Each structure stands twice: as C-alpha cells, then as structure tokens.
Structure 1
Amino acid sequence: MEYVKTERAPQAIGPYSQAVKVNGMVYTSGAIPLNAAGELVEGGIKEQTNQVFANLKTILEEAGSSLQQVIKATVFIQDMNEFAELNEVYAEHFGDHKPARSTVEVARLPKDVRVEIEVIALCK
C-alpha cells in the first residue's frame, strides 16, 4: 500500500490521505473545491466542480493514473437542483469516457462546499 501526496492539490483537512494506491488501483479521498493553498474556490456549482476535477486530475497524475482510468466515481452534491449543471462540467472532464457513478444529495459537506467527488481508478 502506498499513500499518495502532492503539494499541487489541497492537503487533507483531517487524518486521511489524498489517495491510496494498492494492487494496481488508486482510491482518492473526497475532493472538494479548495485550491492548492487550501482556499475555497468561490462561485456556483460549475466553478466548484471544475476545481474538484483540477484536484482529482493532479492527485491521479501523482498516483500514475488519470481521469481516463477512472472506473467508479461517487459524487456528493448539496442541492440536487444543480444536478444538470454538475453533469455539464462532469461530461466536459470525462468526455467519451463513462465510468460507473453514484450521485447522492447530502445535507452538508466539509467547509459547506456544494460538491465533493471521490474516484477509484486503475494505475497505468
């Protein structure tokens, strides 16, 4: 087992790793819309989702993977009324690649963000 850590993405805000690699797979922790300095990205669901994907891409890259290697995504969203906007941004980042996905509306997320996404991916 290998812990994945990069300074190019926000640091964990609790006792956990950005991601863990094991048996050719990488499991990310939930990524929220903080920049690498740990500051919350302002804006709506689109801006926040774009930042989440920027963080996931960086963490996956550090682990030797990419969005194109993602096999499962779990999306936590604060307001299901923003589902269509989230899907727009999600589709832009994954393109033709369509990993399995669950989307769950939650009452509250860390730092009161609008979206959190975790993924499971193959390592190259």
Structure 2
Amino acid sequence: MKSRLLIFTLIILTNFQSCDDDKSEIVFHNSHEPSRAEAPFSDAVETENLLFLTGQIGKDHKKGELVKGGIEVETKQVIENIKAVLEYHNLTLDHVVKCTVILKDINDFKTFNSVYTSYFTKKPARTTFAASGLAGDASIEIDVIAVKL
C-alpha cells in the first residue's frame, strides 16, 4: 500500500512540476519613447512567442503631435510608429500576423488601404472598422500582434 501511495504521489508531483515548466512568463514592456514613459498601458506585452502592441495613432513622438495631412499621412505615421516598436524588439512588419484597424471615417478605407498594402506585403490577417472619437482626434489607429520566431 505504501509503495502505491508513493508512486501515486510521485506521479502527481511530476505532473505539477511539468505544469510549472509549461507556464509562460508574461512581460509588460515600457515604451522605448521617453514621451510615453508615463502612459497607463504597456507599449507591448510579450508571452511565449507573441508580441501584442498597443494601438498606434499618427502621432509624431518627437514633436508630440498628430501629423497633419489627412488619412494618407496619418496611416504612414501609424505604420512607422509600429515599425519602431517592432524594431525595438528586433522584429519587422514581416513578423506581424494580425492587424486591427480603426478608421474615424470608413470612407477613408480606399486611401488607407493603398498605404497599408505598400507596407504589409505579407498580408497579415486584418480586421477593419470605423468608430468616431479616436484618441488624440486621430483619423486612424492600428494595433498588431507579431510572432517572435
């Protein structure tokens, strides 16, 4: 009876230990941009091989203001901001597997899409919708999920 109990205990302990080994750490990364150091959110959150980036708007972080010129210019700035965060984590746009795009005006879709497709040549999965009242009075916001290989 004692040997059965010992074997059963060893099996349980082994299973618990292997469960602990399977746990992945979640890392909440601060921004690489000094102007965003006090933001109430993480610039990126990493778990296992995924990096979840916070939404980006067309803000020029060096000037601290939204770029001027409409949806085309804002879309370029948004994607450049995304590229900067990815590069900080040694990734590129080619590592992006999912994009969520929020447009202030769905009528901007065609212009946005022409800029977007010039950057995202691998064609990650994407969701696009319109909503009013984006942060900073932006015309567009994009968040992405990237894979660390």
TM over 0.5: same fold?
yes
Q: Which has the higher contact order (CA 8 A, sep 6+)?
A: 1
Determine helix, strand or coil for the equivalent of 1:15. Answer: coil
Give the alignment partner of residue 72 of structure 2, picking from 16, 21, 46.
Answer: 46
Partner of 1:63: 89
Match for 2:128: what amino acid?
A: T
Question: Following the alignment from structure 1 to structure 2, what is the Cα–Cα distance between the partners of residues 76 and 31?
Answer: 10
Structure with the bigger percentage of helix: 2
Moved over 4 A (4+): none
Query: Take 1:117 and 1:13, find their aligned partners in 2: how far apart are those partners?
Result: 21
Deviations 1:69-121 (A, max 9, x none): 111000000000010000000001112x1100000100110011100000000
* 2:123 match: secondary structure: coil
Same amino acid, percent of matched pairs = 38
User: Does residue 120 of the first structure (1) align with residue 145 of the second (2)?
Assistant: yes
CA distance in 1, matches of 2:38, 2:97: 25
Alignment RMSD, CA only? 1.7
How has the CA–CA distance of structure 1 residues 18 and 54 changed in structure 2, closer, same or farther, with 3 Å as cutoff?
Answer: same
Structure 2 distance, partners of 1:40, 1:12, is 18
**Residue number in structure 1 paired with 2:115:** 89
2:136 is matched with: 111
Q: Is the partner of 2:112 in helix, strand or coil?
A: helix
> What runs of 5+ residues in structure 2 fail to find an aligned partner?
1-25
* Higher gyration radius (CA): 2
| SS of equivalent residue, structure 1 residue 6 | coil
Q: Secondary structure at the match of 2:133?
A: coil
Name the structure 2 match of 1:78. 104
* CA deviation after TM superposition for structure 1 residue 36, in Å: 1.9
Question: 23-32 vs 34-43, which deviates more?
Answer: 34-43
- Asked if the contact 1:63/1:123 (under 8 Å) is kept, the reply is no
**Where in structure 1 are there 5+ consecutive unaligned residues?**
none
Count how many residue pairs are aligned between Structure 1 and Structure 2. Answer: 122
